[in-house]
Structure 1
Amino acid sequence: MDNQHRNEWYGPEATMFKKCDGYNLINYQCEGTGTCLDYSLFPGIDLIFMDFNCSDTFREPMVNRDILDIRHYRQGRVEFEFQNQKAFHMRENEFCINTLTNMPASYSFPLGKCSGVSFVIDRDSLDSATIQQLSLYGIDIKNLGRHLELDAHWYICKTPQNLLHIFDELYEAKGKESAAYFRIKILELLYHAQKLRSEDRYAAVYYSKEHIEIVKQARKLLIGELETKIPLESLIAGENISMVTFQAIFKQVYGDSPYAHLKKYKMNCAAVRLREGKESISEIAVSLGYSNASKFSKAFQDVFGVLPKDYRRQKQSI
C-alpha cells in the first residue's frame, strides 16, 4: 500500500502500514490505540475492521470518488461532526449506508472504545469483470442504494435481522479467515442491502457542537467527583442550554441518562478495585459516594448481576 493510498483513504493520522496474511494492518497515531484491518475483496471493494480505544478526533479524508460506505458498529458510539458544526451519533448495532456527498468532516468516540466494520465500495474503480460477477447474483452495484436517496441523507436503521448474522460471522472471522471467505459474505450482504426499505430509515438527530461540548464538560465534572452527588442543574448553570436538551444530548452521546451513566461508571470503577483486592467493600462504597455498603452492593448487583463480595470471589479464583 503506497503513501497515496494511505493519505487518501485513512488520513494523516494513519502512521504504519503492514502487509499481513490476506490484509493490510493500519495503525493510527493517537492517545491510545487505533487499528484497521483492510481486506481487498474485489477491485474497488474493501472490507475494513475498525478498532479504537482512544478519545482523539480524526479527520475524515475527502476523496473525489463515487464512494458507497456500508457500516456496522458492535461496540461503542461514534460522533460524526459536519462542516456546519452539527453532529449526530451512531450507536451499537446500528447499520448505515452513506455516500461521499454526506461524508462528515471528522469523527470521534465519546465512550473511548469503538469497534465496527465497513465495506468501502469505490464505484469508479470497479472493473467490468466484478460488475458482471455481482450481476450474476442480481446485484446492481452501480445503482445500489439509489432508491434510498443517499445523495440527500444517510440511511441509518437498526440492523435488520437478515443482516445481523452476517456481521456476527464477520467479527468472528476477523483475522482468521481468508479474503475468499469475506468475498462470499459481501455478496450476501449486498444481496440483502438491495432490499432495504426507505421507510425503515431512522431520522438522524443532529445537535450543535456547542451543546455537545457543554454535555461533555458536564460529564467530566460528574465523573471527576465520584464521592459527591452533583445536582444536574448546577452542571448547566449559566450555560445556553435547557435541561430537556441537555438530557436528550447526554443520552444520545453516552446511551443513558446522566445519573444512570454515572452509576455504571462508578460500578465499573468498583469492579476494577474489587479485582485488585486491596480495599474493603465498605471503603470502596464510601469513596464512590455511598453512605453504606448495603446501598453500594445493591447498585453493583443492578449493574453486574452479582453482589460485590461474590464478584471479588469469582475474579480472585480465576
Structure 2
Amino acid sequence: MDNQEPPFTFRAAQVFVAAVEAGSVTRAAHRLGISPSTVSQQLASLEAALGARLLERTARQFRLTKSGELFLDPARQLLDDVTAAKARLVMADQSPPMAIRIASLEELDATVMAPWMLKLTERFPNITFTLSGGASHENHEALSTRSVDLMLAVDTVGKVDWVDQFPILRDPFILVTAPNVTADEVASRPFVRYASDLQIGRQIEAQLRRSGMQPARGFEFSTNQALFAMTAELSGWAITTALAYFGTPLAGDLVTAHALPVPSFSRRLALQARSGALGDLPARMAEDIRSSLQDRIVEGSASRLPFLSDGFQMLR
C-alpha cells in the first residue's frame, strides 16, 4: 500500500494566499485566471498536504481557521521568497521567463511608460511586463493584495515593514486656468476640483485651507483630462501638478499653466514593492524610470514653463 503523503506545491500556497486576500474562491479564480473549481481543488490538496483545515467555506461564510491563520504569514513569505529568487536569476541572465505586473498613474501613460518599458525589456529580456492603471490608493490596494508586483504611486505610505519604497520624483503643484483667464482673476472664477477620494484632491484642499482659500463646491473629477476640459469649458481654474499637465495629451490646448496663487507645495512619486519580494530588481527599475522621466518630462520643462525653475527634482 502506498502511504506517501500528498505533495505540497508552491501553486497551492499561491492559490491559498489569493483566496484569503480576495475573500472568495470566485474572486481568487478571477485574479489568477483559473476556474473556481481549480481553486477549490488546489485548496483541498493543500489542506491534505498539511493535514489541517485552513478555511471554512460555505455559501455564506469564507474565513480562516486557526490553522489557516498560523499558515498565512509563512505562505506569504514563501511567495515573496520564490519571487525574489526568480528576480535574482533574471538579473543574472539565468532565468526562464518571468512576469511582472505594474500599476501605473494616468499622468505617466502618454509620455513615460513606453520608453520605460523599452528600457526594461532591453535590460531584462526574460521578463514580460504587464501594466494597469489607477489612482494611488487603488494601486496601493492592488499591491497589498498581490494583484500587482510593483506600483508607481504618490509616496504617502509611512514606514511600514511590508513595503520597499524607491523615491522617483518631486512633482510641484501648479495653477491652470482657461486660456481666457488670468491668474489674477481666479478669485472670481469657478474652481474645478479633483475628487475628494483622491489623495491629490485631499492634498490640494488642505493647502487651500492653510492659505485661507475656500472656493465654493462645484465639479469634481477623477482624471486629469476631465479636469482640464471642464476648467476650459467653465472659464475657470484648477490646481494640478506639473507632471499631470505635461503628461496629459493636449493639456496645453485646454488650459494655461501659471505659478500657484498659494505657497508652493509638491508631492513625491515613488516606485513601491512588497518588501524583499523582488530582490534588487525594483531599484534597477527605478533607475530606468528616472531616466525616462528626465528625458521625456523634466528636461526642458523650465523652458516651457519658466516659473517652474527647479520645481521638478529627481529623487534617490
Q: TM-score range by the shorter chain?
A: under 0.3
Structure with the larger strand share = 1
TM-score, normalised relative to structure 2: 0.26
The higher-RCO structure (CA 8 Å, 6+ apart) is 2
Structure with the larger helix share = 2
Max Rg structure:
2
